[in-house]
Structure formats: C-alpha cells, structure tokens
Chains A and B, each alone.
Chain A
Amino acid sequence: MTKNTIETVKIKRIIDECDGVKTFVFERNEKSTPKPGQFVMVWVPGVDEIPMSLSSYKENGEWSITIKNIGECTNSIHKLKVGDYIGVRGPLGNFFHIPQETIKNIILIGGGIGMAPLRFLASELIRLGHKFKIIEGVKVGNELLFEKEFLEYPQEEIEFHFCTDDGSYGQKGFATDLFNFLIEKIQVKDLKNSIVFTCGPEIMMYKILQICLEKKIEMYASLERIMRCGCGLCGLCVVDPLGLLVCKDGPVFNSYRLAEIEDFNKYKRDFSGKKNSI
C-alpha cells in the first residue's frame, strides 16, 4: 500500500452540513498524517474518482471530506450510506504552511465549498494556539458552512465574519468586500506581517490575489483542476506557462507563483487535455 494506491474504507459517519453539502467521515488502515490543504482521490465504486480536499483529520485516525452535490459523482456520493465503501488515495499534494508565531494577522478566506480545506486549517491553527480571522462568503444564507462550529470557537481569538451575495443572511456582499473592510482596519506596518489563506471560486481568489499583491500581503490559494493520477503523471492539471502541476506542485500556490500563472482565473484543461475558458 502506498499513498497512490486505492484503499477502500467504510463510511463511518455522515453529517448534513447545509443544503446540498455533506461531510463523510472514515478511518484508514493506511497510517499517515495528512496536513491541511492536502487532498485525496475519492473513488465512488462504479461511478468515478475525483480529487477532494480533506476537511478534517483527528488524532484518533478519523479523516473527513466535505462534498457539495454539484455533479454526477458528487450526487452519487451523497446517496451513499454509513457502512458503504468508498476508495481513497492520498494524502496528495502540498499543504498550507502554518505561519510562525510572530505573524500578527492570519486571515482565512473561503468561498462556498472552498471552506472545506480551510476548516481543517482552522482546527490546526487552534491546536497550535494561533489567533486568526475567518471570512466566509456564500451565495445564499442556507449555504453557510461550519457556522455553528466557528461560532463555538472563543470569539476573542477567532473572529468569524460571513456574508451572502444576496444578503439573505448576514451582511450582503462578497468575501472580497469583507476582506477589504478588514484590512482597512489593519495598520499599514502590520500588513506585511499578515498572511492570507484562501480557497473558493477562482474569480474570488483572483481578486484576493490582486488586493494582496497591491498591499504586499503574503497569500496562499488552493487551486482545483481536472486530474486522473493525482501524482504528477497525467499532466491534465498543468497550469501554464510555468508547467506546474496542481496535484504535485500544488494545490496550494503562493501569491508570487499565482501572479505568474496566466491560466489562473482563465483556463482549465478537460479530460481530453484541451484548454477551456473558466
């Protein structure tokens, strides 16, 4: 058994997170410790195998993935029950580097289901005693993820801000608006002592990148692309013109790399390898 080998595991628990989003908890025989930002290839027997960020890992050996029902494969996963088998390969890819203690402002910005890897990161930051801010943007109120969990954190240490595109719950607006609002309150000298981790729609991450480049804030984003192998062989997840592979060199890239990736927020390849506009 290696990290690129499929291990079939039984689903141990299923948690309904919000409309159309479920978390699937499983345990593995393969003992390895995943890090926030890493992903697994999830096989739904007879259907498909797709890359999925880990949304938690606990020391008791429980892993979880949080999945939005958006297509044929995710729809099939949503129909699975406790005790059903899924296949997992991983942990794959790089991860969010936990900042040093001297960093003053840690800001996590998630858009919709992009909150999944950031939730894993949040729990790791808490475990290590960091203070940080979470910004979550969703389209409508009933899509808000992990609200209860985030509000249970001590609010003097972990600030939780959220917004909806349509204003149906909380503040109306985009995650980028909230981010702009938050950094206005940070003194200029402290901006370079700030770090942003983001995952979500590429348009959102692209806008956050522009803000971070302008304000010289260190920033990391997790990208998603089509992949077959998840381990640097098929080449479908390449981002031009650097030739970097999202599965192996990513999925997490820093702002300097992102600024050089011309495909960012523009193109993805499909299973044929053809480039398509996002």
Chain B
Amino acid sequence: MLELNISELKLNSPLILASGILGVSYSTMKRLVDAGLGAITTKSIGPKPRKGYRNPSIIEINPGTFLNSVGLGNPGIDNFMTEIKEIKKSKFPLIVSVFGNSIESYIMVALKAEQAGANAIEINISCPHAEVSSIGIDKDLTFSIVKSMKEELKVPLFVKLNPNVTNLGEIALAAQNGGADAVVAINTLAAMKVDINTKRPILSHGSGGLSGEAIHPIAVKKVYDLYKLLKIPIIGCGGASNWQDVIEFILVGASAVQIGTVLYKGLDFITDINNGLKKFLTDNDYSSISELKGLAHEFETQEVPDFD
C-alpha cells in the first residue's frame, strides 16, 4: 500500500531520510530503515574530511522548528566508502548526498559513492550556509553540473533545490533539462536567531538554515508550483512532522517525502507516520499512496480577486 517506485528505486514506504540528519553511521541508517523508512539519504559527503562550523550549530528555536549551520561537516568520501559498503549489506535503497568545490570534484565524489554501492546520488547545490549555494542559485551552473554528472553516472541523480532564490522554477527546469531524474524540494530556508541577553547571533556561523514545522507550508507551496512545471518526479522535503503532512505533500505533487527534523522526537515516530498513512488510505478506499499524487491540482483556484 505504501510501496512505490521513484526512478529505479523501490521503496517500501514513501518516507525517505533527508540529508543532514543522522546519516553518518551505517548502524543508525540501518536502525532507521528497521523503524520503517523507505530509503536513506546520507549526510552530504565531500571530497575530504571537514569538521564544519563550531557549536552552537543545531538548536531548536520554536517547538518543532530548528536552525542549523553544520557547514557540511563530513568524513570525506574515502572514509565514508567503508560506511556505504557496510550499509549495502542491508538491502535498502541508499541515496548518497554529495557536494564538491568544482564540477570535477562533485563527479569524483559521486563516482566513488556509486562504486561503493549507492543506488542514487543526490547533489547538494543548495546548502544555504555554505559555499556550494552559489550553484543552486544559478540556472546555468545547475544545468551544467547536472548534465556533466549525468554523463558519468549510471545510477539516478536527484537534485536538492535551494529555496533561497527568486525563481525556483527556472532552477528546477534547468535541473530537468540537464537530465536530473528527480528534484528534492526544498532545502532549509536561510534564517537567524539572536540571543537578547548577550545580543549575539546564537549560531557560531551567525545564520543558518531553518527546518521543521515552520517551513512545511512553504515547502508545500514550492512543490505545488513545481508540479505544474516539471515532468520529473518531485521528492517533497520540509518540515513533514506527521502523516497528515506527508499526505499533503503527495496531494500537491510529491512522489515521495523526505523527513528529518521530526526525528528529534525519536525513531518510533516513523512507525506512527506509516501507520497513519495506511489508515488514511484504508479509510478512504485507496489501494496505493501513489493514487493521491497531485490530487490538489484538480481544484481550480481563484486567479483574480473579486471586486465589489
């Protein structure tokens, strides 16, 4: 009932772990799949080890809403290949998120990940508080990196979109034209928190990316708009915190949904979401979650306001 295919990946649940959350060790990733996730996206992996920004780097600022600036801390692809190989002993779909400092280094990291057993590559061109954001705000750079990577990779390529742009549609189209197999919408929104007692920005980097409950309605709107434009699948991402949020993403056009921040509530929450999804489908006489895809688009919305 919850099974679906996205690109070549077969998922037992529409829930995918979002990049940046818990995707460090093979053992935690396995635990997340055992808890009911359909696929895992790893933390973004780059060409070499990188410690990232100092703490505070992840804080909650309102209930269920977090601000982070990890700064792409990661062990580097060479160290991470041992984790990938360990993960591949379990048979779940693994999406490795990659970044680089040039098109060549993106390709190098992605090829190593593919060689180690990644089932798909997600490219991070959108981290709002790191230097790679420059690609994700430019449609030509997005097109060329996607096209170059597609020429080298055998596995599907997903592009995670940066919402901190004026025209998300044109970047998403550039990714599609470059040959992307899916887009992930959206990455975190650039945000900031200042402590009023010390008068300081709290995050060591000053600002960071907002995730969790507060950004869900924004992500829903982005997916809704992209669904009208794109032919390739959209993976919804942004603040999904319960099964209702997941249904909402699918109704506006998402083929699958990434979750991340909500896991601060614990891994048991994944079971609750899957059970909620199944019950909703049963209660409403649907046999597959994919039947809900895009249904919100069947309704006309008012384009021009009423006058007098």
Bound Cα distance from A269 to B74, whole angstroms: 11
B51 adjacent to A270 (CB under 8 Å): yes
Chain A contact surface mostly: loop
Interface residues of A in 1-36 (CB under 8 A from B): 2, 4-6, 8
- Interface flags for B190-220 (1: CB within 8 Å of A; 0: not) read 0000010110101010000000000000000
A233 adjacent to B261 (CB under 8 Å): yes
Interface residues on B, range: 35 or more
Of A175-183, A186-194, A241-249, which stretch is located at the interface?
A241-249
B200 adjacent to A45 (CB under 8 Å): yes
Which residues of chain B come closer than 8 Å to A248, judged between CB atoms? 266
The 9 A-B pairs with the shortest beta carbon distances in the complex, nearest first, are A243-B27, A4-B60, A49-B55, A229-B58, A243-B31, A274-B75, A235-B22, A271-B51, A235-B24
Bound Cα distance from A118 to B63, whole angstroms: 31
Which residues of chain B come closer than 8 Å to A242, judged between CB atoms? 27, 31
Smallest CB–CB gap between A232 and chain B, Å? 5
Q: Name the residue of chain B whose CB is nearest to the CB of A242.
A: B27
Asked if B49 is at the interface of the complex by the 8 Å CB criterion, the answer is: yes
Say which residue of B24, B27, B73, B264 sits within 8 Å of A232 (CB atoms): B264
Asked if A85 is at the interface of the complex by the 8 Å CB criterion, the answer is: yes
Asked if A197 is at the interface of the complex by the 8 Å CB criterion, the answer is: no
Smallest CB–CB gap between A267 and chain B, Å? 11
Asked if B28 is at the interface of the complex by the 8 Å CB criterion, the answer is: yes
B195 adjacent to A240 (CB under 8 Å): no
- Interface flags for B163-181 (1: CB within 8 Å of A; 0: not) read 0000000000000000000
Which residues of chain A come closer than 8 Å to B129, judged between CB atoms? none
Smallest CB–CB gap between A251 and chain B, Å? 16
B263 adjacent to A273 (CB under 8 Å): no
A6 adjacent to B59 (CB under 8 Å): yes
Bound Cα distance from A231 to B56, whole angstroms: 13
Which residues of chain B come closer than 8 Å to A45, judged between CB atoms? 195, 198, 200
Asked if A43 is at the interface of the complex by the 8 Å CB criterion, the answer is: yes
Which residues of chain B come closer than 8 Å to A228, judged between CB atoms? 55, 57-58, 70
Chain B contact surface mostly: loop
Asked if A161 is at the interface of the complex by the 8 Å CB criterion, the answer is: no
Which residues of chain A come closer than 8 Å to B27, judged between CB atoms? 238-243
Bound Cα distance from A2 to B60, whole angstroms: 7
Given contact pairs A235-B28, A272-B73, A273-B24, A87 touches B58 in the complex (Cβ within 8 A)? no
Which residues of chain B come closer than 8 Å to A274, judged between CB atoms? 49, 75-76, 79
Which residues of chain A come closer than 8 Å to B264, judged between CB atoms? 4, 229, 231-233
Smallest CB–CB gap between B2 and chain A, Å? 23
Q: Name the residue of chain A whose CB is nearest to the CB of B261.
A: A233
Bound Cα distance from A8 to B66, whole angstroms: 17
Asked if B296 is at the interface of the complex by the 8 Å CB criterion, the answer is: no
B56 adjacent to A87 (CB under 8 Å): yes
Bound Cα distance from A270 to B68, whole angstroms: 18
Smallest CB–CB gap between A182 and chain B, Å? 36
A5 adjacent to B74 (CB under 8 Å): no
Interface residues of A in 260-278 (CB under 8 A from B): 269-275
Contact sample, A vs B, 17 pairs, CB 8 Å cutoff: A4-B60, A8-B195, A8-B197, A41-B55, A43-B202, A48-B54, A49-B57, A89-B59, A228-B58, A235-B21, A238-B28, A239-B27, A242-B31, A243-B31, A272-B76, A274-B79, A275-B79
Smallest CB–CB gap between B204 and chain A, Å? 8
Smallest CB–CB gap between B90 and chain A, Å? 11
Given contact pairs A241-B27, A243-B30, A273-B75, A50 touches B21 in the complex (Cβ within 8 A)? no
Smallest CB–CB gap between A234 and chain B, Å? 6
Interface residues of B in 197-254 (CB under 8 A from A): 197-198, 200, 202, 204
Which residues of chain A come closer than 8 Å to B200, judged between CB atoms? 45-46
Bound Cα distance from A199 to B227, whole angstroms: 54
Asked if A212 is at the interface of the complex by the 8 Å CB criterion, the answer is: no
B25 adjacent to A243 (CB under 8 Å): yes
Which residues of chain A come closer than 8 Å to B56, judged between CB atoms? 6, 41, 43, 49, 87
Asked if B61 is at the interface of the complex by the 8 Å CB criterion, the answer is: yes
- Interface flags for B255-270 (1: CB within 8 Å of A; 0: not) read 0000011011010000
Asked if A236 is at the interface of the complex by the 8 Å CB criterion, the answer is: yes
Which residues of chain B come closer than 8 Å to A236, judged between CB atoms? 24
B25 adjacent to A272 (CB under 8 Å): no
Smallest CB–CB gap between B297 and chain A, Å? 33
Which residues of chain A come closer than 8 Å to B50, judged between CB atoms? 272
B22 adjacent to A272 (CB under 8 Å): no
Bound Cα distance from A272 to B47, whole angstroms: 12
A5 adjacent to B75 (CB under 8 Å): no
Which residues of chain B come closer than 8 Å to A275, judged between CB atoms? 75, 79
Given contact pairs A87-B202, A272-B75, A272-B76, A234 touches B58 in the complex (Cβ within 8 A)? yes
Bound Cα distance from A233 to B63, whole angstroms: 15
Which residues of chain B come closer than 8 Å to A271, judged between CB atoms? 51-52, 73
Which residues of chain B come closer than 8 Å to A2, judged between CB atoms? 60, 62-63
Asked if B23 is at the interface of the complex by the 8 Å CB criterion, the answer is: yes
Which residues of chain B come closer than 8 Å to A5, judged between CB atoms? 59-61
